[in-house]
């Protein structure tokens, strides 16, 4: 029998679910237990929470007779959905030594089995969009899992390596080119039938002036020049909130740079490595990105500019991109193909934009608790675009809007310069 689309959905379900477990496989139960700051969640919690999503939004309402493993999980593994009941306080996720990792894996099996029944049943067509949302939700958490475990390991003076294999390149950084983009009334946002999060819609017109965008990300070497020029002590380049953060936190470099005997090293998912000046600078806050741009005499792009610039990319945006599947788990130096297109827009590092995260005109969140997915975060955060080396293929679009607070930097974030025409 030829597999139908429902089988394809089940296959996708299984594929995504299997990858989460593969990503957790190198980690011990202890590694998967720990929360090193409120922003970080334990690996084990990620594995359970994405499962809770399927249980709560798919199995409970749509699979008659579904019996949950434990009623307590509804509270323990709810992240922030006020609409579905109470939740365990975020900064205390790391305290949950029980259920054990083994229990969580059993929970996954239980839900996977039920999902297989659900996807074999009559409801499969009706629920397909929600299943797809659940899979993208899990893919988001795959990236979170990696950036969170990187933070956990960064707090250990032993510098553990998630993946000991180092994939350094001997490449020199290529010079930056400026790519000119013509303004006018342009369209951005998600429009078609393919999957996208609610915050990417509706597709709508924006009005842009001509601008230029850099052909690649800012490198470690360039950023080191900013530091050596006294960048962190010169308030003229910084937002007021930024310079206060720098002073309060004692920042003098990106989050994972470490000075050892006068040389800069970088903590990576392969452990502590000498800083490679050709690699993109990563784990910078918005404040640092904006200060660097001011120091360099340029600026960051708005998210509309970024998306319009990305419209010029080849149709297969993921081809050659440094995404999770590359296995590098680290940004790579840009290689210019000479085709005039900007590099690294997809993958490598999420790129800070100058745009505060807000709804698009005409935005309507989904009804019910699912509608809490995005809209409630639309204050005090900035948009980042393009995915990173920890983003799964199939999970990134040019319309994808990621968002973080300006002071955060434990995610794979980087800097691309822009300028007025």
CB-nearer residue toward a second copy: 160 or 394: 160
**Which one, of 78, 57, 46, lies nearest residue 143 by Cα?**
46
Task: State how far the Cα of 30 lies from the Cα of 33, in Å rounded to an integer.
Answer: 5
Residue closer to a second copy (CB basis): 4 or 361: 361
Residue 54, CB half-sphere, CA atoms under 13 Å: how many? 30
Number of neighbouring beta carbons within 10 Å of residue 272: 16
Distance of closest approach, residue 339 Cβ to a second copy, in angstroms:
29
For a second copy, the closer of residues 347 and 406 by Cβ is 406
Q: How far is the CB of 80 from a second copy (least distance, A)?
A: 7
Q: Which CB sits closer to a second copy, 104 or 321?
A: 104
Alpha helices in 230-302 (DSSP H): 240-249, 286-295
Closest distance to a second copy from the beta carbon of 399 (Å): 18
Q: How far is the CB of 121 from a second copy (least distance, A)?
A: 31
Which of 127/269 has CB closer to a second copy? 269
Nearer to a second copy, 29 or 61 (CB): 29
Give me the DSSP letters along 347-402. BSSEEEEEEEP-PPTT--PPSSGGGGTTGGG-SS-EEEES--TTSPTTS--TT--E
Q: Which is nearer to a second copy, 337 or 367 (CB)?
A: 367
Min dist CB 16 to a second copy, Å, is 25
Find the shortest distance in angstroms from Cβ 347 to a second copy: 27
The whole-angstrom separation of Cα 347 and Cα 106 is: 33
Nearer to a second copy, 74 or 393 (CB): 74
Residue 155: cis peptide before it, omega within 30 degrees of 0: no
Binding interface with a second copy (CB under 8 A)? 28-34, 36, 44, 72, 75-76, 80, 82-83, 88, 92, 94-101, 152-153, 155-158, 160, 185, 204-207, 209, 235-236, 238-243, 286-287, 290, 354-356, 358, 361-362, 372, 376-380, 406, 420
Beta-strand pair 211-214/417-420: antiparallel
CB 122 to a second copy: min, Å: 32
* Choice between 36 and 132, CB closer to a second copy: 36
At 169, phi and psi to the nearest 5? Answer: -120, 150
Q: Give the C-alpha separation, 44 to 371, whole Å.
A: 25
| CA separation for the pair 60, 45 (Å, rounded) | 20
C-alpha distances (whole Å) from 31 to each of 28, 324, 336, 346 are 5, 20, 38, 30
Please state the closest distance from residue 227 (CB atom) to a second copy, in A.
19
| Separation of alpha carbons 390 and 100, rounded Å | 26
Q: Is 106 helix (H, G, I), strand (E, B) or coil?
A: helix
* Least distance between a second copy and beta carbon 290 (Å): 8
């Amino acid at each position: 029998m030829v597999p139908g689309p429902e089988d394809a959905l089940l296959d996708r379900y299984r594929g995504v679910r299997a990858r989460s477990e593969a990503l957790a496989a190198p980690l011990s139960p202890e590694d998967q237990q720990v929360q090193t700051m409120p922003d970080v969640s334990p690996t084990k919690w990620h594995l359970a929470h994405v499962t809770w999503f399927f249980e709560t939004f798919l199995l409970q309402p749509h699979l008659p007779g579904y019996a949950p493993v434990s009623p307590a999980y509804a509270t323990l593994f709810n992240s922030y959905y006020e609409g579905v009941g109470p939740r365990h306080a975020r900064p205390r996720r790391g305290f949950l030594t029980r259920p054990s990792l083994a229990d969580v894996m059993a929970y996954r099996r239980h839900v996977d089995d039920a999902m297989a029944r659900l996807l074999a049943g009559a409801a499969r067509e009706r629920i397909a969009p929600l299943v797809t949302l659940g899979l993208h939700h899990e893919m988001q958490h795959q990236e979170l899992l990696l950036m969170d475990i990187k933070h956990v390991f960064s707090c250990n003076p032993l510098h553990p390596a998630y993946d000991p294999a180092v994939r350094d390149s001997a490449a020199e950084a290529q010079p930056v080119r400026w790519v000119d983009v013509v303004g006018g009334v342009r369209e951005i946002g998600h429009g078609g039938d393919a999957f996208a999060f609610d915050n990417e819609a509706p597709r709508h017109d924006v009005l842009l002036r001509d601008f230029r965008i850099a052909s690649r990300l800012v490198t470690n070497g360039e950023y080191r020049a900013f530091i050596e020029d006294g960048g962190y002590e010169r308030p003229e380049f910084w937002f007021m909130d930024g310079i206060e953060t720098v002073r309060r936190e004692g920042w003098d470099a990106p989050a994972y740079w470490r000075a050892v005997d006068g040389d800069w090293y970088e903590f990576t998912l392969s452990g502590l490595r000498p800083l490679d000046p050709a690699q993109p600078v990563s784990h910078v806050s918005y404040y640092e990105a904006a200060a660097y741009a001011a120091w360099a005499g340029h600026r960051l792009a708005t998210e509309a500019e970024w998306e319009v610039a990305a419209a010029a990319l080849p149709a297969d945006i993921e081809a050659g991109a440094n995404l999770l599947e590359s296995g590098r788990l680290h940004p790579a130096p840009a290689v210019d193909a000479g085709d005039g297109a900007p590099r690294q827009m997809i993958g490598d590092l999420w790129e800070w934009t100058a745009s505060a995260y807000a709804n698009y005109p005409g935005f309507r969140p989904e009804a019910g608790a699912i509608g809490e997915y995005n809209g409630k975060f639309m204050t005090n955060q900035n948009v980042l675009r393009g995915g990173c080396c920890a983003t799964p293929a199939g999970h990134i679009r040019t319309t994808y809007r990621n968002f973080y607070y300006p002071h955060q930097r434990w995610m794979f974030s980087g800097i691309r310069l822009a300028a007025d025409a």
